[in-house]
Amino acid sequence: MRIAVIGATGNVGTAVLSRLHRAAEEREATPRQGAATADPPEALSIIAVARTIPATDRLPYAGVDWHALDIGTDEGRDALTAALSGVDAVVHLAWAIQPNRDEEAMHRTNVTGTAHVLQAAAAAGVRQVVCASSVGAYSPSDKTPRRDESWPTGGIRSSHYSRHKAEQERLLDVFERDNPDIAVARLRPALIFQGQAGSEIGRYFLGPLVPKIVLGGLPLPLLPVPGSFIFQAVHAEDVADAYWRVVVQRASGAFNIAAEPELTPERVADLLGARRVIGLPVRVLRALVGASWALGVQRTDPGWIDMAAGSPVMDTTRARTELGWEPRHSSRDALAEVLAGLRRGAGRSGSPKLHPRSGA
């Protein structure tokens, strides 16, 4: 089995590579552990695609066939088609959330890049495409009841991330219709956290002036957030396991991926050491975030506030029953881990995306 991972150096891509290496080791060990007459499982090899190749002498980047290309360009699409020759399954993870002041550049990677991946996969004769969608692809919803995979994926129009995820979903719909012989799966995970992504998340969402409150340098007596900020999280390792299960089972369709429990303002306040939660109106928080973003104080544009308030809480029954997927980390533990990673400037040396914060 030959698997290609596109966008293999970031938070999820690094976790997926680690999971694939473990799967390869498990497959190599199976013939020695099983009966002599048992057929050994098919060997697993990995190719990886990224704009910048990481340090290939370090796991999980070692032992991988690397290709440096930009999927948002025609040249990148053609190079990807050649790279996917002989590949059984493609796991497409590449996504840009910065620079969020240049939506054209993000769209080129996110939407045009996805179109190029699908074109290359079809041209190369790939048997399965597994794509990273998101809870952000869903149309607005109350936080109750929980929504399963049938909830519309029209996105939240004021969020560039959500708009692009909705466009990606439409590309997958068309591709699935036009290529019935290719198994097409899409994972819709909640917020994905792990400790070594702390510095990357800080760079993407907070910028160089990371608040001392987030870093634990100041006490936090009050947490002023809207009561509608109820969201889900999942550890990167558990998301990676879900991708592997989809590939090895050659599953198709959509799968919501999230751990328990859902994270309420009160639970987040407990993690941050806040004594009390103040239910700030969404419009007020949005105005504050919009002003600070416009001034360049921080990197979170106000569309992220709209998505936090409007995205549904997902029902993950299908992933648990059909894939046999079960997260090993709670959502609370995943959030606590990334907060600790953010405070200490954690990262992974050798990754162009996950490198530790300078001077941490």
Residue 349 lies in a domain: no
Residue 9 lies in a domain: yes
Burial of 244 (0-12, 13-18, 19+ CB in 10 A): buried
The one-digit pLDDT tens for each residue of the chain (360 residues) are: 999 999 999 999 999 999 999 999 988 886 655 555 556 677 899 999 999 999 999 999 999 999 999 999 999 999 999 999 999 999 999 999 999 899 999 999 999 999 999 999 999 999 999 999 999 999 999 999 999 999 999 999 999 999 999 999 999 999 999 999 999 999 999 999 999 998 888 888 876 655 555 566 666 788 889 999 999 999 999 999 999 999 999 999 999 999 999 999 999 999 888 888 888 999 999 999 999 899 888 888 999 999 999 999 999 999 999 999 999 999 999 999 999 998 888 899 889 988 887 654
Provide the 3-class DSSP secondary structure of residue 358. coil
Q: Looking at residue 164, which CATH number applies to its domain?
A: 3.40.50.720
Give the position of tokens 């396991």.
241
Residue numbers of the domain that contains 172: 2-344
Residue 228 lies in a domain: yes
Q: Is the peptide bond before 180 cis (omega within 30 degrees of 0)?
A: no
Residue 265 lies in a domain: yes
Residue 24 lies in a domain: yes
Output the DSSP codes for 108-155. Answer: IIIIIHHHHHHHHHHHHT-SEEEEE--GGGSPP--SSS-B-TTS----
End-to-end distance of the chain based on CA atoms, in angstroms?
40
How many domains does one find in the chain? 1
Question: Virtual CA dihedral for 122, 172, 251, 152, nearest 10 degrees?
Answer: -170
DSSP label at residue 356: P
Residue 359 lies in a domain: no
